[in-house]
Structure 1
């Protein structure tokens, strides 16, 4: 009986860890963004590895300003609908400047 209880407790703990890992972003992510269209799972943009799950992406901190990183991502992956660098989100005007660099011809080729 004790073995069964220990097994069940272990199983519940494992399932809880799996559930939280699926929701959590990578611990090394600094940038979080949403694209207008889904992108490849892993891409390197402006020397930064970008990981996407559909249209939601994350990347570690780079050496460039967030606006430059956003523009580089828009150029490679298409328009960005939301962009956050740490605890700072780009506002509508900054996103418009970011998306001015978007290459919509790449979206047509996907």
Structure 2
């Protein structure tokens, strides 16, 4: 017969291993932040499977498999001209933002 502590050991070990990962993921926040020049008509946008949520004065989204520049272009196509775009905490410079805004609606 299996005793309770022995049977529970694998579950407890996996919980201890996964806890720091979950805590780290919760602290990272959005990966993308896009600031449109004008207030949006919609509070939620979807670009190539990525959901953008309106928070205060910006759209935010989790990291996707697309390149950062492509994500900027996609959100500009839906939200209009952007005044700022950040990916992974790194803001686009003026030249990159201007190229991104070439796709704005």
TM-score range (shorter-chain normalised) is 0.5 to 0.7
Q: Which runs of 4+ in 1 moved over 6 A?
A: none
For residues 82 and 57 of structure 2, the distance between their equivalents in structure 1, rounded to whole angstroms, comes to 9
Q: How many residues align?
A: 78
Q: How far has the Cα of 1:53 moved from its partner?
A: 3.0
Q: Does structure 2 retain, via aligned residues, the 8 Å contact 1:43–1:51?
A: yes
CA RMSD of aligned residues (A): 1.7
5+ unaligned residues in a row in structure 1: which ranges? Answer: 1-25, 104-110
Tell me the residue number matched to 1:16: none
Length-normalised TM-score, structure 1: 0.65
**Higher gyration radius (CA):** 2
CA 1:78/1:102 → structure 2, altered by over 3 Å: closer, same or farther? same
Unaligned runs of 5+ in 2: 1-26
Q: Which has the higher contact order (CA 8 A, sep 6+)?
A: 2
TM-score, normalized by length of structure 2? 0.68
